[in-house]
Structure 1
Amino acid sequence: MTTDSPELKRSLWALDGVNFFLADVQAGLGPFLGVYLINKETWNPANIGLILTLGGAVGLLLNAPAGALIDASRHKRALLAGAAALTSFGTFIVTLKPTFAVVTAAQLITGVAGVVLGPVIAAIALGMVGPKRYAAQTGRMQAFNHAGNVMGSAVAGLAGYLISLKMGFWLASLFGIFVVLATLMIKGHLINDDLARGLKPKEDDGDDEKPSGFRMLLRNRPLLLLAAVVGLWQLGNGAMLTITGQKLAVGNSGEGALYQAALIIVAQVVMIPMALLVSKRGDQWGRKPLMIAAFAVLPIRGLLFVVASNPGEVIAIQALDGIGAGLQGALFAIMVADLTRGSGRFNVAFGAATMVQGIGATLSPALAGAIDQAAGYTTAMLALTGIAVVALVLLIVTVPETRSSVDEPPKSKSAEAEPSPVG
């Protein structure tokens, strides 16, 4: 068994740092934006939902082209650093003056950056460790991302309660510098660009493998089904935290910031062991059983939110989001990698699938905000819960197991371990 070189180990730790600090940066323009705006003049649940929708909408048409760029690029670290810097800048400018124009600009900036961040991190990881270690590496990265979210949310919440929500946004923006520094610590020559796009490395055989045509995306029925059901899940999940946080924040943005931090932290703490579970057991147990578990907790969470009567109950229920989002977030990229192995189009496929997923996440705040404004919180939450039930049924019925036999762990100690693709 080939062990990782010290240089590769250091680069993988740097990639963990990217995931940790990037979560701190993104904590600012997440649910805290709704809490920040809800008590500002001219802002209400409907137009907050609209502005949050704009941030996701800008990236919908850019996801697949961004994936193609990442597939072709040999400068993935530069793409990562640039996108992180844009996210940091967008987080900062929203505090200058929370007008519709300024907040829209911030959402557009972070929306463009967001279409690069997820796929380029996934590509760098795949290029460094190869497909057979990718599930374990993805779970590990997600664990660091959730740990960063805990820290970022705690900082933003405490700053909002003790000082001002602006301070939370400023600190989140500051973490963008650490993302860039961690990115520079990753050694570029350790990223195999063929592995990063889902091809075999050139040294594995004498013939250069060529990427598949783009039509392979439309012909890959399991990939299309996976993207569709995850998009539906995001439609049900995306606004649950947002409208619940706004409900707790009405009339007191300081306490609202503290409640929002607690809602995020309790979920993120649970997500850490869920991501590690995927890292340790994703190959052994299979992807689909874990994804079904992720989908099953969402309607339960929605129903419990409806009957919750005080902030303590709401915060406890939010722990279920840690199970659902923790499993789904780690599994999605792994399943896309499974379904595109050998095609050379991993990042295009990941971008396209993320686009479909993003449609659900983007529409969710606008849909829930409009229903909340017209018919109240309970009706909006029940609508999201119904969507979650449909997503669960479709996952069970239509999406196959994506793990192949080559991903299964060896059945005996004598089985030959796979050598590391680099180092």
Structure 2
Amino acid sequence: MNARSTSTKPGLRALEALNFFMADVQAGIGPFLGVFLQAKGWGAGSIGSVMTIGGLAGMVVTGPAGALIDASRNKRALVVIASIFTLLASALLWVSPSFAMVATSQIATAIAGAALGPALAGITLGMVRQAGFDRQFGRNQVANHAGNVIGAALSGVLGWKFGFAAVFVLAVVFGVLSIVSVLLIPKQAIDDRAARGLESDDDGKDEKTSAFRVLFTCRPLLILAGALALFHLGNAAMLPLYGLAVVAAHQGNPALFTATTIVVAQLVMVGASLVAMRLLRTRGHWWVILLTFLALPLRGLIAAFVIKQWGVWPVQALDGVGAGLQSVAVPALVARLLKGTGHVNVGQGAVMTVQGLGASLSPALGGMIAQALGYRTAFLMLGSIALGSLVLWLGFANQLKPACGSASDARAESPMA
């Protein structure tokens, strides 16, 4: 499959549009939740705790959601259902800002979001197969990050002028457009067998084997998951905590400042996703993921010592580098490691589960540290935790590099080669 045939395949533009509009739907009100609850009188510890509850719920269901995607022959319908569920969950916040209602909303949003990640990866794999996956998924992520930029910018401006209600209205509009986009993808354009990682007649030998046995016997996948868990344990709390720290210190407009933090990171992620597509072809997956692990400790240092409005630029730029590269490299590597097993989307879900474990614990941990010891100490400790990712990735480099593929392998497999 060459680059030309991949780029002209029916439905790919609708797939990219789906990723653009889905950016605002997946997060619900996302990072705006922290400042929304802060305005209602919530403390940093309570905000972190309710975010953790939602993260844990999503973590529990992500693996089974991946299995559902593997088994489903109507992946478009699953995206529609999950989108509607997310929007209804966000609406619960307007019923009451009580802890029980907010926790319920976060749990529902997390459960719906758990299906969206594997679904989008599975649809992409089913449309372009393994040879075109790295490039197309990179294009998807460029669209997704661009959607985050536009969505956050509009949310900030509308929230500043009309209040947080406008942020919810915007999420509904993006949700409707997401549903329209997924329905524009022809059902026949998605090969359900290829979407599971099965392409040749020899593939599928592991399909009858328990999916979890396949996952637990893939050592490189386990190392990847462990490194990502530590990364997200340190990373996930940085943005909401930094927003709270700067708003508390400078009394800036909460919606506008939060939007700025998102826009800066997402703009960098657009560029990072484009760079990741090239680096995967020239350097391979191992090096790209290593770069993401290097960015977070530096981000923690800057966040700790630059709690000022202009500090959002370096702090969120580094978030953009790490998250932007990972958003392309990690799903691509999982698809590579599990090619031919028939359990690719279970693998995507399992890795997201472990990432979710770290991410769900991070807000509670960061919030408690910030409340007890201050924001600066919280940023330093979160950045230090992330050093564990580097230890794992470098310590097992001899096992990981062959599984990740060499630069020559990456070039040979790319449709751009």
The TM-score bracket by the shorter chain reads over 0.9
Q: Is the 8 A contact 1:284 1:408 kept in 2?
A: yes
Q: Is the 8 A contact 1:64 1:355 kept in 2?
A: yes
Show the counterpart of 1:413.
none
Q: SS in structure 1 opposite 2:370? A: helix
Tell me, in whole angstroms, the C-alpha distance in 2 between the residues paired with 1:70 and 1:39.
Answer: 39
Gaps of 5+ in 1: 411-415
Cα 1:99/1:389, change in 2 over 3 Å: same
Q: Is it true that 1:62 corresponds to 2:61 in the alignment?
A: yes
Q: Is the 8 A contact 1:91 1:173 kept in 2?
A: no
Amino acid at match of 2:209: G
Show the counterpart of 1:173.
172
Show the counterpart of 2:163.
164
Deviations 1:221-250 (A, max 9, x none): 110110010011000000001111112233
Identity of aligned residues (%): 42
Show the counterpart of 1:343.
341
Q: Is the 8 A contact 2:232 2:355 kept in 1?
A: yes
The alpha-carbon deviation at position 72 of structure 1 amounts to 0.8
Q: SS in structure 2 opposite 1:216? A: helix
The alpha-carbon deviation at position 2 of structure 1 amounts to 6.0
Cα 1:305/1:128, change in 2 over 3 Å: same
Q: SS in structure 1 opposite 2:411? A: coil
Q: SS in structure 1 opposite 2:142? A: helix
Amino acid at match of 2:18: V
Q: Is the 8 A contact 1:88 1:174 kept in 2?
A: no
Show the counterpart of 1:386.
384
Amino acid at match of 1:334: A
Show the counterpart of 2:209.
213
Tell me, in whole angstroms, the C-alpha distance in 2 between the residues paired with 1:352 and 1:160.
Answer: 36
Amino acid at match of 1:20: F
Q: Is the 8 A contact 1:127 1:192 kept in 2?
A: yes
Amino acid at match of 1:409: R
Q: Is the 8 A contact 2:53 2:106 kept in 1?
A: yes
Name the count of aligned residue pairs: 410
Higher alpha-carbon deviation: 264-273 or 59-68: 59-68
Show the counterpart of 1:30.
30
Tell me, in whole angstroms, the C-alpha distance in 2 between the residues paired with 1:348 and 1:241.
Answer: 29
Amino acid at match of 1:238: A
Q: Is it true that 1:116 corresponds to 2:115 in the alignment?
A: yes
Q: SS in structure 2 opposite 1:296? A: helix
Q: Is the 8 A contact 1:142 1:329 kept in 2?
A: yes
Matches within 5 A, 1:156-305: 156-200=155-199, 204-205=200-201, 211-214=207-210, 215-250=213-248, 255-305=253-303
Q: Is the 8 A contact 2:216 2:222 kept in 1?
A: yes
Show the counterpart of 1:408.
410
The alignment's TM-score, normalised by the length of structure 1, stands at: 0.91
Higher alpha-carbon deviation: 231-240 or 20-29: 20-29
Q: Is the 8 A contact 1:39 1:251 kept in 2?
A: no
Q: Is the 8 A contact 1:248 1:256 kept in 2?
A: no
Q: SS in structure 2 opposite 1:125? A: helix
The alpha-carbon deviation at position 351 of structure 1 amounts to 1.0
The alpha-carbon deviation at position 65 of structure 1 amounts to 1.1
The alpha-carbon deviation at position 344 of structure 1 amounts to 0.7
Greater share of residues in helix: 2
Amino acid at match of 1:104: A
Tell me, in whole angstroms, the C-alpha distance in 2 between the residues paired with 1:418 and 1:342.
Answer: 19
Amino acid at match of 2:25: V
Amino acid at match of 2:132: R
The alignment's TM-score, normalised by the length of structure 2, stands at: 0.92
Tell me, in whole angstroms, the C-alpha distance in 2 between the residues paired with 1:246 and 1:417.
Answer: 43
Tell me, in whole angstroms, the C-alpha distance in 2 between the residues paired with 1:6 and 1:302.
Answer: 40
Q: Is the 8 A contact 1:24 1:151 kept in 2?
A: no
Deviations 1:112-156 (A, max 9, x none): 101100001000000110111111111111110000000111111
Q: Is the 8 A contact 1:298 1:320 kept in 2?
A: yes
Matches within 5 A, 1:92-103: 92-103=91-102
Q: Is the 8 A contact 2:82 2:112 kept in 1?
A: yes
Tell me, in whole angstroms, the C-alpha distance in 1 between the residues paired with 2:353 and 2:203.
Answer: 33
Higher alpha-carbon deviation: 157-166 or 5-14: 5-14
The alpha-carbon deviation at position 251 of structure 1 amounts to 8.3
